[in-house]
Amino acid sequence: MFKGSFPALVTPFKNGELDLDTLKHLVEWHIGEGSHGLVPVGTTGESPTLTHEEHETVVEEVVRAVNGRIPVIAGAGSNNTLESIRFMQHAAKVGADAALIVTPYYNKPTQAGMIAHFTALHDCCDLPIIIYNIPGRSVVDMTPDTMGELAKLPRIVGVKDATGDLARVNLQRMTCGKDFIQISGEDGTAHGFNAQGGVGVISVTANVAPKLVAQVQEATLAGDYARALDLQDRLMPLHTAIFTEPGLVGAKYAMSRLGLCSEEVRTPLIGLTEPTKQLVDAGLRHAGLMN
Provide the pLDDT for residue 255: 98
Residues catalogued as catalytic:
132, 160
pLDDT above 90 for 1: no
Mean pLDDT of 223-251: 97
Q: Is residue 147 part of a domain?
A: yes
Boundaries of domain holding 157: 4-224
167 in any annotated domain: yes
**Residue 28 pLDDT > 90:** yes
| Interacting residues of 108 by C-beta distance below 8 A, sequence separation 6+ | 139, 140
**Would residue 254 count as lying in a domain?**
no
Give the CATH number for residue 20. 3.20.20.70
Question: What's the number of domains the chain is made of?
Answer: 1
Asked, for residue 189, whether it belongs to a domain, the answer is yes
Instruction: Give the pLDDT confidence of 162-206 residue by residue, as tens digits.
Output: 999 999 999 999 999 999 999 999 999 999 999 999 999 999 999
CA distances (Å), origin 104, targets 33, 109, 113, 198? 33, 7, 9, 24
Is 248 within the bounds of a domain?
A: no
Amino acid identity of residue 81, one-letter, is T
The response to whether 44 counts as a known ligand-binding position is yes
Average pLDDT, the chain: 97
pLDDT, position 70:
98
Distance from the Cα of residue 212 to its chain's centroid = 16
pLDDT digits (tens, 9 = 90+) for 42-91: 999 999 999 999 999 999 999 999 999 999 999 999 999 999 999 999 99
> 102: Cβ–Cβ under 8 A, 6 or more apart, which residues?
43, 77, 78, 132, 134, 137, 138
- 201 belongs to a structural domain: yes
Task: Read off the pLDDT of each residue in 208-224 and give the average, rounded to a whole number.
Answer: 98
Whole-number pLDDT of residue 199: 98
Q: Who contacts 155 (Cβ-Cβ below 8 Å, separation ≥6)?
A: 122, 126, 127, 128, 129
- pTM of the full structure: 0.97
Confidence of residue 24 (pLDDT cuts 50, 70, 90): very high
CA distance 285 to 270: 24
Q: Is residue 24 part of a domain?
A: yes
Cα–Cα distance, 71 to 177 (Å, whole number):
23
